[in-house]
Structures are given as C-alpha cells and as structure tokens.
Structure 1
C-alpha cells in the first residue's frame, strides 16, 4: 500500500460550517433515531503471522433481528499496531482516521458504504514529528492531530499540534515546546477546540508510562494559526497512598503516591466555553478564561480512591466517565460548569470500562474495555436523562459482561479465523 496521501476517490460533499461540526460529521444526527451501526477499532490479541488488526462493524439497531452481530470487518494487513484512538464521529466525504499507536501509523477507512468499510490509505509521515495520537475534525473538514514526539532535536523531545486538510494532506505544524518549560517531556495527547474563542486545548500524557514521566500540563493554542499561547501547570492535588505503583515513575512511583494532577488525559468543552479535563488519576479540572491573556485552571473534584479515569462522553447535561482500574462508570451533571456534581455510578466488577461514546440519535452510550485485562467485550447502556443514570442493555449481544455485551473472544471473524481481539475506539454510524 502506498503510504503517501492518495486521492481517495470519494464523493466529496460540499458542506457548510456549524459550531458543533454537525454538517460535516455524519455521526452527529440529533433525533435521527438509534444509530444502526457501531464501528469498533480492534487489535488482534495473539498476533499470529497471518492475523491483522481491523475495523469491525456491529449491528446496533435495537429493532434489527441481527442486533449485536458482527456484520463486517476490514483488516489493515498488519498486527500489533495497538489500535487506539479514532475520530470521535464519522466524517462525511472523507476517510475515517484510526491510529495504531505503537506502530506510529494511522489508517484511513472509506465508510461511503457504511456496512462495508474499506481501507484506502495511511496518513503520511509528518516531517519532524512521530507518533500521532488523537484527531479532531473541524467544521470545514480539516483535522487537528496531536503528535506525541518531535525529532529529538529539542531537550525533552516535545511533540506538537498538526493541521491536515479534509483529505489528510498536511497543512501546518507547531511544536509544543515552551521556553518556560524547557526540557520538559510535553506529550500532546487529547485535542479539543473552541471555535467561538479561536482556541484549541491539548493535554499532555505519555503512552510510554513505564519509561518516562510526561509533563503534567495543558496547553492553549490559537485555532486560526496553531500558535502556542499558554502552557499551564496542572495544579497539584493532595497525593494519596497506593499499595502498589501501577502508573507512575520516578518520585511518584517510589513514594507509591498518585496526586490528582498526574497524567492529564481527556477534556470536553462545556456549554459556557470552559473546558472540563480529567486526569488518569481521577482529578477533574476546569479551565476558564481560555480566550484571555490569563487563563485559569482549578481542581473541582478529586477521587483519591479511584484511578484510571479514561475517555468520557457527554450526553445532554451530563458527562459519563469510565474509570477502568476501579471498574466503575461515573455520571456527572455538567449543566452548570461552575458546579459539577456526581449524580450516579454504575459499577462493573470484573470489567474495566475505558472508552465511552454517545449515540447521536438516541439516549444510549457504547463502552469498550481496557486492553490491560481480559475483559474484551463491547457494551451498550441506555441513559435516563431525568435521573442521570445508566442501565445495561441486556439485549445487546450474547451474555458476556456477565449479563450482556458483544464478546471479542471469538475464533472467527468475517476476515478469517484469527481468534480473540481487543476492542478500543468505538463510534456510532448511519447508513
């Protein structure tokens, strides 16, 4: 396969701009009814010589007789890439970007035939940068991507922020290096955009958790030209003792302590233009004044007895946050960003929830599990917006969670008898 950016041969649509990307993103169809398709980016577990990582399509139409069945898979022809983040919504008139982090490769899937994804290309290498991580599709179809590493020419080897056009051709790059944090290992992780403020927010968290300690910072950029404006140290929370050092190195690991600010992870824009950010160690921080010369960041909630706060999703006035290593899912009322409140939990004993995504046409959420433990099952939850509570959809898939779920422990897939796979990114789609 040619790793350069080729013409995809897709029918590119003429689209307008909207503040929530709704014109460009096919996955954003409010009140369209339950999305009939669910895309899962998965990695082959045993990594046999003839195996492959792949994109799976699951029937997610609750009225379908094949609800919860795997309809199709599209292998990428290589194994062990560590399938990680995709775009959060299905784009219209462009290929879906899906990252195989450990390989430093990003695959491009044509979803113009929604039931039959087709691998069409790979993202070309970005000069001066390595290891793309997260992607955000803008209103006009352009894509912002975080790059975790530079070319080694700057102390700390900070990564950067990159802009592509809708066909994934490179437009511009900006380094995350900041003179005020010279030598720091800044590893851009998640990317969030506030178009009305002409701002971008990125977090910093390394994927190489056992070999380096990334800077616990967030960064603010100007959207129009990707100029780096501010690097903010995440305020320190009270450290908590842990019986074992699972995530953390250096002083933190030796002390067996996990302060709230450790490993800034994901962020989501609130309705007032502020940003709510969770760390892996379950501190929740609010960033405000993002479009001013003196932006602020403060700890609003801290969960010292939980860890593994992962990839959240928002649904109406709520945010749903999986906590993988504590085996629970938190639900927050975010209607007032200055007064974030936990309203419910759904415990998942024996299951490590990691990634959550909202069905844009229905009150339900898909959750996938962490690849750190053998819980390779995809779940769907119904969401009660009145009570702010999750309930497991027990009709989705064969009982695996233990009561429901589509199991990725299987011998055979549409692309062959390749055995168990590890699901990671998940997103809903429409025909």
Structure 2
C-alpha cells in the first residue's frame, strides 16, 4: 500500500512558553496512506537562531537528537522495580504522566558558538504520540533523507534537513504498509538515497504472512518474530519487504519464541550496515522485542536474546536475499548456569569496514559484553571470532571497575571512516546484575585500534591472537587483536549510568568557510538512554567527546546544559520550545550540516 503524499502545508504562527520567549512555529504536513495528515512542527527559538547566525559569519554544525516524551508508562517501571515502597512522585511525576509530542531536538554543535549546546528548535511529530523514538541511520551525508523509527508505533518518518535548523517532513510509513514486520529499529542509507530498515518484530498479524516474493512465514504477532528488512524510498514509502527468517527455522535450543513457533527463529534484526561495493548487507539479531518490556523485573527466558548475525546478497537492491545465518561462539566466560551473560548473547549491533581493500565486519553483544569480527562478509558462511571483551576496557573507562565484561549493556559500535579505529559505547553493568553482591560498573566510551586486525587479511586462520582464556578476556588477546587506545567515563562512579548510543562527527570546517566531510572525526556524541520500559533507562543526557587522531578521548567540558550549567545536555527539564511537557528520552543522534553550508 503506497502512501499518497500531498503538497506540504506550511503555516507560520508565533507562540511563547515560560522559558522560551518568541518561539516561531513552522508546520510542514503530508497526507499518508490512511488519508490522514501527519506533520513535523518546528519550534524555533528566535533569539538563539539569530545568535547562531553570529556576526563572525561562521557556518553552523548541528546535532539532531531523536527524543521521546516521558510519561507514566516509563516512570512506572522504576516504581515497580523498587517495590516495596511508595509509588508517589509529587507534582513533577503528575506533570510528566500524560503523553506529549515526540521530537527531533536541533542543538548547536559548533564549538565556540555563542549558542553552543543550546536547543534552538524542537521539531515535534504528530498526530502520533507514544512513538518511543529509537534509531536513525548511523551517519548522515549531504543530500540524505533522515530516517527515524518509532519503536512502539511501528512507523518510519522521513525528514528533509537541507535547511537546518528548520526541518520538513518528506513522508511517513505506517504499520499498514509493513505488514511483514513491526518495531522498526535502525536504517542504512544507500548511495541512491533510498534506505534499508530493520523491523525487529514479527508480522503485524499472528499466523501465516506471504511476502511479495512468494515466500511465507508464520509469525507470533506484533513485536514478536520473525522480523524483516524493509527498503524505503526517499519519502519513507515502501519499495520492498524481505523476510529475515530461514525456511527451515533456526536452532531450537538457542532461539526461543513466546508464544512458541513450529519453526523456532532468532530472526529479529536490529543493527544494519551495508557494503554496496561488495553487494552485501549485514544485520544483527538482538531479541524478540515485546518480551524485553513485558516483564522488566524478571525476563522470561535468556534465549529470547539472540546470538545470530545474518548476511544478505543485495545485488538486486530492491530484493535483498538472505545468504547466511551465523551463530556467534561462546567464549571463556560462558557459564551454562547463566546463559544470558555468555559472550554470544544479544547481538545488538554490527558495523562494516569501509575501505575497498577490506571485506570484514564487527558485531557486538549487549548482554554478552563482547566484540566479534569476520574478515570476509562475502563468504558463503562467514567465520566469526571473538576479538575483544568489554572487560578489557573496563578499567580504562574507570579504575574502580572490575574486568568482567558480562552484562556490559553495550550498544553503539562503529568503525571510523578510515578503518583505523572502532568506537564503542557501553552503559555499564547495573548493580546486582550478576548477583546480589555485584557492585556493577561505570559505563562510557572506548576506542580500539583495529589496524593490525584488518591488515591480517580476509582469512581467520591468518589472524594472530585469540580470546580463549578468562585472563585474555580481561587483558586482551594479543597478536593482531584490537587494543584500547582511548576511553572516557560517562557518569563516573554510577553503575549502569553510561551511554547506549552514539555518532561520530564527520564534518570539519575548511579554510573556505564551508564544512567538508572528513574520514578523521574529531568528535563523538553519545546519549544516556535505552528503553525505559525495559528497566534500563538512563539519566537522559547527551554528551560530546573530543577525539584525537590517536584515538584518545575526553568529555567536552564546554558542551553544557543551558539551564543547569552542567556538562551534557539534560533532556530532563520542565519546558521545551514546544511547551512545558517535562522530561524527554534522547535515544539517538546525528551530526548534520545545512546544504548551503556544506561542500
């Protein structure tokens, strides 16, 4: 079902809120497949927009943060986990109880700017609320549409960011257009401007679902299994849906489903990246999504978290074809009594190498706390090995951490554009995760040098070094395996208080006064939020880190909240440019530059 897009209706009005005077409201609307109007409504803070165009004439770089309104369904999880006790919360909790609009925050990320760190626009989306904004694409290039997923609403938004700080809506995909999957997660933009998106959850309706290619899967319903890959045009209209499930099903022991399926499956794709020059797409399976939030106190089964990575043939860009399902191996920490924290468990993300001479990719596990690598994603059956354990970075992040990587709650992982480094964000282990006496660990960001690993070639047997003992899990595997070259804590001393997601800054200001893309990022941005209803929330802050050419990291002390004055932009605030809606949940971010300022 293709959406019908109407000409954008743009209206201009003035408004003001208690903390933001003179806010200009600019609405851009499109008609979607259901015949209803959907919109993005900009709330531009006039004085800050004017100040950002300062007299020195320096062009601006922006950080876009996809954030959701916090309400009682989010805060109730903490209350339940803290029982026995009080469910009271005073006036602040009451004010945050009702749903409010979700939004893209536009933050000035131009170092030295008088409005550095200020939110100059909140672009709210409607009429859908309770979207649970999740991921966008991993990096933005000039001309790209921004694709942004609504986890709970099963919608994908497409935004035009060519004239920042103002946004326009290009289109929206609704659940009725992606009946073969639900719970959209992440996106990868292709060179032609279209994008692939992972829909982690199962077909919208339980039972058999037949795809356009004639294949049929049997699913257990919305937010269940198996998921799919969707190909979108630049307006978020569906070009194709491709099933992630295999015809024969997956390993029955390692792949649980609730309700159970006759053909068990781990096909819940989360991370997604592609190498178009190799005609190969890689997706990583994280979890059967609904079961992560149904019981935030006790998860129903560790085998609902997935140990699998899928590779696809994308020779025909509109018909991705599943080639292989790889099961990541357990490592020396694996304990049969605690399968949830085995190294292979919960493959949240994957990242490909970039340069023509490299054919490898990495994958990381959230509960397993490990990093894996295959040197050749084009192989019929890619061979994955563990190359790093989060435990080996723990003390570099904070000296009081132990060296156990299990339960690190790792999220973002990304190769640098020049294939020299691997960036990784970990929330840290929550207190009590491994038992009542577990103190937990401080989370943060670390950088690995991967040059020797990639130089070893495209055969696993030529890679020197292995993570085959607990000692190597804690200290590194030696040989060609990655080593830590930079690390920084976020919320030092707070167990499980680090970032979930991140993005690198791929823009530098040239001598000509314009921004240009670079393969040597100088900054990273990270956000401290996962999904509140999973029980892993965060303090809702966004931080910037300065990144040296040697991989060294330091939190940017100048990127401060405009109200508290503290380091990091705090999304827990009473008011926004769009009104007094209270706390918000920042899940993902991107560095973006207006077209007129980028060459």
Match of 1:133 in 2: 185
What are the equivalent positions in structure 2 for 1:19-38 lying under 5 Å apart?
A: 36-38=61-63
Match of 1:65 in 2: 114
Match of 1:352 in 2: 498
SS of alignment partner, residue 67 of structure 1? coil
Can you list the C-alpha shifts for 1:82-115, whole angstroms capped at 9, x where unaligned? 1110122346556421112022122232223210
Can you list the C-alpha shifts for 1:145-203, whole angstroms capped at 9, x where unaligned? 11223333245631111212223222222211112524223101111111221111110
How many residues align? The count is: 396
Tell me whether 1:168 sits opposite 2:236 in the alignment.
yes
What are the equivalent positions in structure 2 for 1:273-352 lying under 5 Å apart?
A: 273-280=359-366, 281-303=368-390, 305-306=404-405, 307-315=408-416, 316=418, 317-325=420-428, 326=441, 327-336=443-452, 337=454, 338=456, 339=480, 340-348=482-490, 349=492, 350=494, 351-352=497-498
- Within the candidate set 139, 150, 169, 1:100 is matched to 150
Report if the CA contact (8 A) 1:239-1:257 is conserved: no
Shift of 1:3: 9.5
404-413 or 336-345, which moves further after superposition? 336-345
SS of alignment partner, residue 410 of structure 1? coil
Match of 2:526 in 1: 367
SS of alignment partner, residue 196 of structure 1? helix
Structure 2, unpaired ranges of 5+ = 10-57, 72-95, 209-216, 220-224, 251-262, 293-298, 392-403, 429-440, 457-479, 509-521, 531-535, 595-599
| Higher strand proportion | 1
SS of alignment partner, residue 321 of structure 1? strand
Counterparts of 2:444 and 2:7, CA distance in 1: 41
Match of 1:223 in 2: 314
Shift of 1:79: 3.3
Counterparts of 2:348 and 2:388, CA distance in 1: 15
- Within the candidate set 523, 539, 544, 1:380 is matched to 544
Match of 1:405 in 2: 568
359-368 or 89-98, which moves further after superposition? 89-98
Match of 2:351 in 1: 268
- Within the candidate set 83, 87, 100, 2:137 is matched to 87
Counterparts of 2:345 and 2:375, CA distance in 1: 20
SS of alignment partner, residue 588 of structure 2? strand
SS of alignment partner, residue 367 of structure 1? strand
Residues 413 and 401 (structure 1), Cα distance of their counterparts in 2 relative to 1, 3 Å cut = closer
Can you list the C-alpha shifts for 1:195-251, whole angstroms capped at 9, x where unaligned? 22111111001234345604411111101231111111111223457xxxxxxxxxx
Residues 140 and 8 (structure 1), Cα distance of their counterparts in 2 relative to 1, 3 Å cut = farther
Residues 373 and 176 (structure 1), Cα distance of their counterparts in 2 relative to 1, 3 Å cut = closer
What are the equivalent positions in structure 2 for 1:141-290 lying under 5 Å apart?
A: 141-151=193-203, 152=206, 153=208, 154-155=217-218, 157-178=225-246, 179=248, 181=250, 182-206=263-287, 207-208=289-290, 209=292, 210-211=299-300, 213-225=304-316, 226-239=320-333, 255=338, 258-270=341-353, 271=355, 272-280=358-366, 281-290=368-377
Report if the CA contact (8 A) 1:39-1:58 is conserved: yes
Match of 1:245 in 2: none
SS of alignment partner, residue 411 of structure 2? coil
Can you list the C-alpha shifts for 1:242-285, whole angstroms capped at 9, x where unaligned? xxxxxxxxxx7x73751000011111112412001111122111
Residues 195 and 412 (structure 1), Cα distance of their counterparts in 2 relative to 1, 3 Å cut = same
Match of 2:93 in 1: none
Structure 1, unpaired ranges of 5+ = 11-32, 242-251
TM-score, scaled relative to structure 2 = 0.61
Counterparts of 1:293 and 1:90, CA distance in 2: 31
Residues 35 and 256 (structure 1), Cα distance of their counterparts in 2 relative to 1, 3 Å cut = farther
Counterparts of 2:140 and 2:5, CA distance in 1: 20
Shift of 1:288: 2.7
Can you list the C-alpha shifts for 1:368-420, whole angstroms capped at 9, x where unaligned? 1124344111111111122x211111111139999511111211111111111
Counterparts of 1:188 and 1:167, CA distance in 2: 22
Can you list the C-alpha shifts for 1:121-168, whole angstroms capped at 9, x where unaligned? 321321322222111100111111112233332456311112122232
Taking only aligned residues, the RMSD between alpha carbons, in angstroms, comes to 2.7
